């Protein structure tokens, strides 16, 4: 909002985090700001969508649910050529596994609610950028509209940060093992994760990401939604809940979005299930997934 006014235009990757999508498609249009959502697989799609009124390019790499990446440096080059601001959501990789500021992005946002706090007990966010950019935010809309963390939540966040590297590394290694199991399972149609074997953009994973985190999606071979529900209910070591990136493993089936009033129609398959790997023993999680997958007809 600091960089936009009525009449301006934004180009964003399609399928960003649900509430970012709501901001672009519902809230900002009320104030005369339009957004074009583009397929981020090709950086040129950002350039093709530019208008004389375009002010800002928005990235989320990898994005939510399907973990598609944008070529960050290539999008930054387009922004620099046209003197546009770039903003990126880096929540999935976090600051340890990907550094968009070093690739030239102007403002990088993280949901600190996820790995940084890491214990499902704090809601917080971080925005990073060069000093002049941050001063500009602080001196303007931030004072009126910015979130303000409570001292207790800030303290919880500091505690979480102290163990961030070991938690991330453990979860990253567990996830590699679990994804390997799932990719070979006959009841799993597809695994969506930048480090999965079948991932569509391995060259961007190689170029941009240092390591993978514990959030991914699977498409299960189920005949109908009740079968997906039975699979989710059969899991003993995964809680059914929103959010991700904490100590406990979670699942979130896309079919729940179909029945929800607060989400917009999801552009996701009904048999997709999002999984967040926590700090449990990966062998226990694999055994649990195995018994629940075996219940699929």
Ligand X SMILES: *Cc1c(COP(=O)(O)O)cnc(C)c1O
**Shortest reach from residue 13's CB to ligand X, in Å:** 11
Cα separation, 116 vs 168, in Å, equals: 9
Among 21, 69, 91, 120, binds ligand X (CB under 6 A): 91
Residue with smaller CB distance to ligand X, 47 or 106: 106
Ranked by CB distance to ligand X, the top (closest) residue is 111
Q: Binding-site residue total for ligand X (CB under 6 A)?
A: 9
113 is a site residue for ligand X (CB under 6 A): yes
**Shortest reach from residue 242's CB to ligand X, in Å:** 8
Cα separation, 214 vs 181, in Å, equals: 14
Residue with smaller CB distance to ligand X, 91 or 187: 91
- The pair of structure tokens assigned to 288 is 């649990």
175 is a site residue for ligand X (CB under 6 A): no
123 is a site residue for ligand X (CB under 6 A): yes
List CB contacts of 271: < 8 A, sequence separation 6 or more. 189, 219, 220, 221, 222, 225, 228, 254, 255
Residue with smaller CB distance to ligand X, 89 or 106: 89
213 is a site residue for ligand X (CB under 6 A): no
111 is a site residue for ligand X (CB under 6 A): yes
Query: 2-21: which residues touch ligand X (CB under 6 A)?
Result: 17
Residue with smaller CB distance to ligand X, 211 or 213: 213
How many C-beta atoms lie closer than 10 Å to residue 269's C-beta? 16
149 is a site residue for ligand X (CB under 6 A): no
Q: Which residues bind ligand X (CB under 6 A)?
A: 17, 60, 64, 89, 91, 111, 113, 123, 125
């Amino acid at each position: 909002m600091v960089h936009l006014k009525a009449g301006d235009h934004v180009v964003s990757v399609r399928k960003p985090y649900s509430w970012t999508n709501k901001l672009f498609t519902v809230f900002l249009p009320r104030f005369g700001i339009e957004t074009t959502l583009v397929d981020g697989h090709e950086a040129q799609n950002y350039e093709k969508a530019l208008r004389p009124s375009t002010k800002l390019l928005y990235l989320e790499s990898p994005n939510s649910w399907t973990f598609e990446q944008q070529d960050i440096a290539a999008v930054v080059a387009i922004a620099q050529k046209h003197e546009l601001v770039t903003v990126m959501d880096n929540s999935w990789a976090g600051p340890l596994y990907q550094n968009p500021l070093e690739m030239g992005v102007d403002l990088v946002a993280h949901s600190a609610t996820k790995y940084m706090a890491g214990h499902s007990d704090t809601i917080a966010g971080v925005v990073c950028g060069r000093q002049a950019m941050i001063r500009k935010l602080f001196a303007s809309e931030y004072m009126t509209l910015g979130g303000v963390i409570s001292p207790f939540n800030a303290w919880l966040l500091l505690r979480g940060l102290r163990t961030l590297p070991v938690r991330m590394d453990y979860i990253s290694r567990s996830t590699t093992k679990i994804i390997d199991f799932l990719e070979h399972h006959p009841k799993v149609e597809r695994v969506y994760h930048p480090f999965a074997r079948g991932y569509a953009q391995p060259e961007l994973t190689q170029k941009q990401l240092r390591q993978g985190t514990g959030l991914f999606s699977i498409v299960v071979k189920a005949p109908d939604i009740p079968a997906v529900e039975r699979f989710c209910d059969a899991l003993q070591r995964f809680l059914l809940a929103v959010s991700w990136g904490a100590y406990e493993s979670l699942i979130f089936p896309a079919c729940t979005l179909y029945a929800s009033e607060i989400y917009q129609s999801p552009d996701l398959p009904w048999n997709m299930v999002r999984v967040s790997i926590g700090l449990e023993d990966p062998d226990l999680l694999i055994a649990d997934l195995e018994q629940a997958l075996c219940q699929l007809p």
